[in-house]
Amino acid sequence: MRVGIICAIPDEIKYYELRPNSAQKLGGRTFFKSQETERELIVVECGLGKVNAALVSSLLIHEFECKLLIFSGVAGGIDPELGIGEVVIGEYLIQYDYGALNDGELQVYRAGSIPMGPLKNEVEFALDPEIKQKIKAALPEIRMGTILTGDVFLQCGETRKTLFEKFGAQAIDMEGAAVAQVAEQFGIPAIVVRCLSDLAGANGQKLSSTFLNSAAESSFQTVQTILKVLR
């Protein structure tokens, strides 16, 4: 099974062993092969945001015929019980900035649905149940939870608190739910693995390069375990 690995920034992709002579450019992005013993990985740095994530997700599926997408990277923490360095796997992914704005209040709808009238579906994209079971069996201590996705780099303690109260989420990123949405459209599973590199502005805390690198490596190591589980 060919697997597409997506990272947003150089700090995340640098842990993957890429074949220099395998580079293929499409849509302004460079895709690399990274060979494992039992499967071929196609690895790409997508850049920040939902559009970039959706772009490379579509290319990985349509052009490279990947049957599974995995996002590997860092995120901001939302849940006050979680600390920097904890890994969260997206059991549910929500595009929290998609919906209808009425009287200053955003009603979140499922991304891709018409944001009008009563909610007809759950707003989240869910992790494949079979994959979820396999990961839990191999990584019983791993945290699975809700990851929020939006085109905003959150560094605001008040907004962090509001989002946690509204969604009960564990982490926030800028790409994950877009990857899940594209994968669902093509009928394949997606896994979003995030390690907390910061606490999204809690108590004035800012992103540190030290935390960024260690979190990116932890996410990479978790992905390696998942790849072994899904053989």
Q: What is the pLDDT of residues 168-222, one digit of tens each?
A: 999 999 999 999 999 999 999 999 999 999 887 665 455 566 688 999 999 999 9
Q: What is the pLDDT of residue 202?
A: 61
Tokens encoding 166: 């509204």
- The pTM of the full predicted model, rounded to 2 decimals, is 0.94
The mean pLDDT value for 60-66 works out to 97
Q: What is the pLDDT of residue 198?
A: 86
Cβ contact 15:216 at 8 Å: yes
The mean pLDDT value for 22-42 works out to 88
Among residues 12, 79, 86, 175, the one annotated as catalytic is: 12
Q: What is the pLDDT of residue 104?
A: 84
Is the model's pLDDT at 62 over the cut of 60?
yes
Q: What is the pLDDT of residue 42?
A: 97
Is the model's pLDDT at 134 over the cut of 80?
yes
User: How far is Cα 151 from Cα 139, in angstroms, rounded to an integer?
Assistant: 30
Q: What is the pLDDT of residue 31?
A: 97
12 is catalytic: yes
Structure-model confidence comparison of residues 49 and 117, the more confident one: 49
Closest by CA position to 180, among listed 108, 143, 126: 126
Among residues 11, 91, 175, 198, the one annotated as catalytic is: 198
DSSP-derived 3-state class of residue 130: helix
Q: What is the pLDDT of residue 205?
A: 53
C-alpha 128 chain-centroid distance? 14
The mean pLDDT value for 8-28 works out to 94
86 is catalytic: no
Question: Domain coordinates of the chain in residue numbers?
Answer: 3-229
Q: Which fold has domain 3-229?
A: Rossmann fold (3.40.50)
Is the model's pLDDT at 95 over the cut of 70?
yes
CA distances from 47 to 19, 76, 145, 163, 213 (A): 20, 17, 24, 24, 17
Q: What is the pLDDT of residue 207?
A: 56
User: How far is Cα 14 from Cα 155, in angstroms, rounded to an integer?
Assistant: 25
Q: Which residues contact 228 (CB under 8 A, 6 or more apart)?
A: 138
Q: What is the pLDDT of residue 118?
A: 82
User: How far is Cα 126 from Cα 19, in angstroms, rounded to an integer?
Assistant: 33
How confident is residue 103, by pLDDT bands cut at 50, 70 and 90?
A: confident
Is the model's pLDDT at 121 over the cut of 90?
no
How confident is residue 35, by pLDDT bands cut at 50, 70 and 90?
A: low
Closest by CA position to 122, among listed 139, 110, 140: 110
The mean pLDDT value for 118-128 works out to 87
How confident is residue 157, by pLDDT bands cut at 50, 70 and 90?
A: confident
Q: What is the pLDDT of residue 203?
A: 53
